[in-house]
A and B are shown apart, each in its own frame.
Chain A
Amino acid sequence: MTIEIKTSTLEPVRNTFAHIERRFGDKPATRYQEATYDVQSEENFNYRPLWQPDKLLNDKTRTDIKMEDWYAFRDPRQFYYGAYVQSRAKMQEAAENSYAFFEKRNLSRLLDEPMKAKLIRFLIPLRHVEQGANLNNMYACDYGYGTAITQACIFNAMDRLGIAQYLSRIGLILDGNSGDSLSEAKLYWLDEKVWQGVRACVEEMTTVDDWFEVMVAQNVVMDGLIYELYYTQFDQWLQDNGGQDVGMLTEFMQVWNKDSTRWVDATLKIAASESAENTALLEQWISNWKAKILTALKPLASEMLGADALAQAEASLDKRLAKAGLFK
């Protein structure tokens, strides 16, 4: 007996939602497009709230940056909730393996006391910076306009909470789960002179009204400098001074930064290429925050790494800014 297998193709009734079709044409859309474009309420559930009657709940004017289309901020990683969670789950699995390996082999015994002290003094207080970054990205998500950019901000905010937790776990590994290193690091954050400039910047950022400025100050300037200092230069210093195993614990931050930088740079470039006014505004914000943050980081960077570390970090940030079309 022979069996003949017949196939018949069913044409889908429609390829995608009408609003996605209006943007991208009548063809199968990506999940990212469907979960992102024109999702924020315009008509329904959007009105003038009692607490700010001169603006709508979802209002484009809570920043001085002006965009013809706020959905121009396409995320190059195309993260919508599903893709984001999958990507982070993968990264977390790798990180958990590293932490488990580090703890099982008790690699912290290879770190001598001065090395541990240095990590507690410089690396662990960074969790307070990450908490500030979490707040700032939450704020941008809350007051921002357009799901394309606001969803990326909330993803960034959650990542920062995760990074703060990993930094805390590094502290717990160093102090044998007593929590002493975290209290000590908090005291450095609150009282130690090298940290006060950074703390002032983190705290000042949370008082800025313009959400786009907050995003630029945090994700471009602050992160641009700090991540270069810590996860490139300090990482190298650890490798050269017998602390290379700590790299297993900060690998997540390094990988994450590469991923996040793609989005940050793309966002900056899109905003700058929209208009000369946007470019001027971004340059003004960046110059202002860069001057402040450089001054704040100076004592920290020179004590942690040496005199030319900060200049190197600045050069790497400037290169990114130039690529985004700023300060031409």
Chain B
Amino acid sequence: MSKVYIALQDNDDSRYIVEAIEEDNPEATVIHMPAMIRIEVEGRLIVKRTTVEEKIGRDWDVQELHLNLITLGGNVDEDDDGLSLHWNQ
């Protein structure tokens, strides 16, 4: 099974998103690359709005994720409370 992954620009907004992803996906591997942070995981990766808001210290719209998004791999399931990635079987 291939991994799902998400890559974000390495900036001040993304750092908190990455922290939130790390907390919600303990299995995930975070790879710091020049100017980019790539996170991959077997199975499913979730980004939860509430966790990001707690880390970033303000209201956060899930669509703001796209401002810092470079690429992602996996089938996307997105709503107001979060975004999740997995491969459809």
Residue B56 at the chain A interface, CB threshold 8 Å? yes
Partner of B12, one of A9, A77, A83: A83
Assess the B34–A10 pair: CB atoms within 8 A: yes
Number of residue pairs A-B, CB distance < 8 angstroms: 25
Interface 1/0s, chain A 1-32, versus B by CB < 8 A? 00000000110000000000000000010110
Assess the B12–A31 pair: CB atoms within 8 A: yes
How big is chain A's contact interface, by range? Answer: 10 to 19
Sorted from nearest, which 4 A-B pairs have the closest CB atoms?
A: A77-B57, A76-B57, A30-B15, A78-B57
Q: Which residues of B contact A (CB under 8 A)?
A: 10, 12, 15-16, 32-34, 54, 56-58
Looking at chain A's contact residues, the main secondary structure is loop
Residues on A with beta carbons closer than 8 Å to the beta carbon of B57: 75-78, 262
Assess the A259–B12 pair: CB atoms within 8 A: no
Assess the A78–B34 pair: CB atoms within 8 A: no
User: In the complex, which of the residues B10, B15, B54 has the most CB atoms of chain A within 10 Å of its own CB atom?
Assistant: B15
Chain A stretch 71-112: residues in CB contact (< 8 A) with chain B: 75-78, 82-83, 87
A311 CB to nearest B CB, Å: 30
- B11: nearest chain-A partner, CB-CB: A31
A-B contact pairs, 16 of them (CB 8 A): A9-B33, A9-B34, A28-B15, A28-B32, A30-B12, A30-B15, A30-B16, A31-B12, A31-B15, A75-B57, A77-B57, A77-B58, A78-B57, A82-B12, A83-B12, A259-B58
Residues on B with beta carbons closer than 8 Å to the beta carbon of A76: 54, 57
